[in-house]
Each structure stands twice: as structure tokens, then as C-alpha cells.
Structure 1
Amino acid sequence: MEDKQKRAFKDEIYEQFARMGKAFSSASRLELIDLLAQRERTVDELAEETEMSVANTSRHLQVLKGERLVRRRKEGTRAYYTLADPEVYRAWKAVRSLAETRLAEVEETVKRYLSDRDEMEALSQEELEERLERDDVLVLDVRPEEEFEAGHIPGARSIPVDQLEEHLDELPEDRDIVAYCRGPYCVYSDDAVRKLQEKGRNARRLSEGLPDWLVEGRSVEHGG
């Protein structure tokens, strides 16, 4: 290969790689990826969840679709979006992990908004797996029910966080409880653990969420 060809090749191949960086360069698109890792959603559902306009949500989805990071399927007049491949979530998780390692602002933001998180002991995925094998823990999925039905940790019970107080009496008092939600920065599990501890229950949160459990190759169940 001649020098000019080598230069042209490198310019072109790195430009293709840069397309991924551009797709991940929007905070709004990262949130959409995080939500689509839970289950497929319509534009309207995503707009409501992210508090963006439908038009703006649609524009971000078109960027992600253009780079083949999400898929769209039509059902009648409705369009549903989902992640194109588990590798998309792996890439987002790698970006997240790099930011946690290199940016002190990430920890500062968590401490500012989740000031009591240090008081809530977190359980790792490996520890939860061991506890499940011993059958000495109750796992609560505190995400919305539709996300639970799309996929959940085997044996988990679905109690969305906004329904937890009305179901407290149904939970055994002599069993450790682990609550999990969408991911490490989802506050549903924090809220659930806080409510459970206020009622005297021995509760902890899972350090990560269902998508992290899945991409590590662990099994999930589907349906109610």
C-alpha cells in the first residue's frame, strides 16, 4: 500500500469509528440507550420518561438508528424502538465506567443528590448470585411492571417502588431483601431500600441493574 493510500485508509477508518463517539456524545441519547436497555418503547413513551418533546426524542432516535445502535419495528401506526444489540449497552457501560474512573464530578454529583447512599450497603452481582444459590434472600424488582415482564432476575418479585408501601405486609420480616432497578444511577432501589429500612426490614440495594446482570451472561426470566 502506498503512503497516500495508507493515509486515506486511516483517515477513513477512524472517521467511521468517530461516528460511534458522535452518537454517544449526547446526554439525551445516553438516557435513551439506558431506557431501551430495559424494554422496547415507543417515541411517546420515551418522550414522557425523559421529559423531552416528541420531536426532539424522535430526532435523537434517528441519530441512533442511523448509526445502527437501535432498531425500529412497526405495529400498525405505532413504531417501537429497542437496542440493536447487547453490545450497544456494553459500549454505554464502558463509557459510564470510564467517566466514573476519570471524572471526579461523577462522584460529586452522586453525593450531592444521593447523600444517604453511603448508608445503604450495596450488594454486588456476584454476592447476589451466591445468596440466590443459598436461597436466603428475597429479591425485589422495583422497576415499572412492564420492564419486569420484559426481563428480570430469576425468582425476583415485582413490586414497583410507588406500590411498595401497600405491599409491605406481604413481605416476610425474617428474610433479607435486595432491591434492584434499572442501573447504578436509577434511584428506584434507593427509595425502596429507604422505605424498607424505615419499617425495620433488613434491606440492601443491588449495585447495578437488570441490563448489567444480563450483559454479564447471567440468565433472566420473562413474563409476569
Structure 2
Amino acid sequence: MAFVSEQWLLFSIVIVLVAVLLFIESKKGGKALTYHQATRLVNNGEGVILDVREKKDFSAGHIVDAIHIPYAKVADRLSELEKHKAKTIIVVDKMGQHAAAASKTLRDAGWNASRLAGGMAEWQAQNLPVVK
């Protein structure tokens, strides 16, 4: 605490820089959709779910009609999503850590992509349906 009170200017600069970093990193991931918004898009035929978790996690339970492409292979398998180019691709992972990067890859390639806020952890916490 003595350091903070003596070096309040430096401490303030560090806090501002951390806040700016968090803001910039959150924007890189693109728009995050709530489970309500994602469900509405899928039910209206305007969205499709892309699950980027590993095969064992996907097999343990996934959103109905989700397309499975592991995170590490998204850039190589974009052609599999070509028929969904007019729809919003809703990227889902375990808790949101890989969905942002996969969503950015899709947007850079020309897709309209968003990520599911909270990932499958939030989906399951809300007791929404999963299939195995």
C-alpha cells in the first residue's frame, strides 16, 4: 500500500493500460451473443452453430444440429461452411476462450460470425438442451 500511495501516478497509468488492453482484446473476439439471441437466430433459420471444442467434448454433449470443426482446424476447413455463408455463424466452445479467435478467423474470411457468450458452460448452466 505504501507503494500505491507514493507512486499513485504510475499505479494509475498501469490500471488505465490494463483496462485498455482488456477493452481491445474483448473487441477482437467480435460480438458475443446471449443464448437467447443465438436460439432466436437458429430457430429463424438465420444462424448456424459451429462447435470448436475437441471431439471428446463435442461427443459428451453439444447443441442440436451443431457443426463440429475443432478450433485448430477451423482455418483449414472453411469450405465446409460455404453453404452457410448467408447465415450468422455462432461459434461455441467450452467457456469462450477459443470462440473469439475462431470467430475472428471466420470474419476475416468473409463470414458473418459471432460467439456464444459463456460458451457451452453457460448453455448447460441455463439447462438448455444438448444431444450426445
Q: TM-score, normalised by structure 2?
A: 0.76
SS of equivalent to 1:115: helix
CA displacement, residues 142-188 of structure 1 (integer Å, 9 cap, x when unaligned)? 111110110111111111110111110121322210101111xx321
User: What stretches of structure 1 of length at least 5 have no aligned partner?
Assistant: 1-104
Give distance in 2, aligned partners of 1:221 and 1:114: 35
Please list every run of at least 4 consecutive aligned residues from structure 1 whose deviation after the TM superposition is greater than 4 angstroms: none
**Which residue does the alignment assign to 2:24?**
115
Cα distance per residue 1:71-99 (max 9 Å; x no partner)? xxxxxxxxxxxxxxxxxxxxxxxxxxxxx
User: Aligned ranges for residues 44-193 of structure 1 at < 5 Å?
Assistant: 108=18, 112=21, 115-119=24-28, 120-172=30-82, 173-183=85-95, 186-193=96-103
Q: What is the distance in 1 between the residues matched to 2:43 and 2:86?
A: 18
Q: 1:215 to 1:187 in 2, by over 3 A?
A: closer
Q: How many residues align?
A: 113
For the pair shown, which has the larger CA radius of gyration, 1 or 2? 1
Distance 1:158 1:114, change over 3 A: farther
Residues in 2 aligned to 1:147 and 1:178: alpha-carbon distance in whole angstroms? 17
Highest RCO, 1 vs 2 (Cα 8 Å, sep ≥ 6): 2
What code does the residue aligned with 2:88 have?
Answer: D
1:117 deviation in Å?
2.2
Q: 2: CA distance between counterparts of 1:133 and 1:112?
A: 36
CA RMSD of aligned residues (A): 2.0
TM, length-normalised to structure 1: 0.47
CA offset at residue 214 of structure 1? 1.4
Shift, 1:116, TM fit? 3.5
Deviations 1:97-146 (A, max 9, x none): xxxxxxxx8xx57x636734225111110111111211221110111111
For structure 2, which runs of at least 5 residues remain unmatched after alignment?
1-14
Q: SS of the counterpart of 1:205?
A: strand
In 2, distance between residues paired with 1:126 and 1:206?
10
